[in-house]
Amino acid sequence: MQLFLQQLVNGVALGSIYALMALGYTMVYGTIKLINFAHADVFMMGAFVGYYLVTVLEMNLFLAMIIAMIFCAILGVVIERVAYKPLRNSTRVASLITAIGVSYFLQNIMIYFLGPEVRSFPSPLETSIYRIGNIVINSKQILVFVITVILMIVLYLIVQRSKMGKAMRAVAVDSEASQLMGIDVNRVISFTFALGSGLAGIAGVLVGVYYNSISPGMGTALGLKAFVAAVVGGVGSIPGAMVGGYVIGILETIVTFMGGSMYKDAVVYGLLIVILLVLPSGLFGKNVKEKV
């Protein structure tokens, strides 16, 4: 039982990272119905920005996180304006293919300039060990969890209490009606990309700190699992993205604990298939009926 509880702690730390990334997927989809596969590589860019700031400029970790967040937020807006905005009235397939193209572009441009090898991310904070009974919690796990919870609370307040948050919810329901009511839809969409990409930037730095390694291809596997988390929770639902992230993180660690580390990815994608068969809209998604 103690070993099981220990794996839950590990799963919560991993799930926090998935949840932060899943929020970016679900926010963009909820606003413009686009699955932004480039989001995973924005996360990778955030990790490398944090790596450069911490190793080369010897910057404080928390300041590096803020700068990585700002960089990724700007990058997200640029991607939206250059790659997605011209295709807003095109088919969803065209936008989806563009998103995949942007993803490969970001990944390969980093490989071209920095090489494909894995880089060691320094540990700017001293790792401390805490014990609650026989359960061991280290300072990295606490850091990841606390930062994730703080960001989720801030995101909730922005979406639910701010004027821009109300505009985001209005555009998500009906963008044309929102425009008629005086809402600047382009500005709202750009803000959504900035917010989601900023969260991905912080998640990238947290992954570097937690695993002590980064690479140009790191966004592929983590991005897919974060997308699965968004689907499991219900694409377009912010609470669903959070819950989905923790479900995937805990599921992975439990499968590994039971000796199935070789099959943990298969179990995660198996859960995705089951959810799509039983609850196509996800745990927190809403069934939307379209008029013919």
CA–CA separation, 62 vs 68, rounded Å? 10
- Fill in the amino acid letter for 236: G
Task: Please report whether residue 128 resides in a domain.
Answer: yes
Question: Dihedral angle at the C-alpha atoms of 37, 200, 266, 233, nearest 10 degrees?
Answer: -90
- pLDDT confidence of residue 122: 85
DSSP code for 289: P
Which parts of the chain sit beneath pLDDT 70? 1, 285-292
What is the number of other CB atoms lying within 10 angstroms of the CB of residue 109?
A: 13
Residue 16 lies in a domain: yes
Q: 164 is written with which tokens?
A: 């821009």
* pLDDT value for 218: 92
Question: What pLDDT is recorded for position 291?
Answer: 42
Separation of alpha carbons 222 and 43, rounded Å: 9
| Nearest Cα to Cα of residue 201 among 17, 73, 111, 113 | 73
Q: Does the residue 52 lie in any domain?
A: yes
Which residue range forms the structural domain that includes residue 151?
Answer: 2-223
Residue 288 is predicted with a pLDDT of 52
Position 284 in a domain: no
Q: Tens digits of per-residue pLDDT, 82-140?
A: 999 998 888 888 888 999 999 999 999 999 999 999 999 987 777 788 887 778 888 88
In a domain? residue 253: no
pTM flag (> 0.85): yes
For the chain, the domain total comes to: 1
pLDDT at residue 292, as a whole number: 39
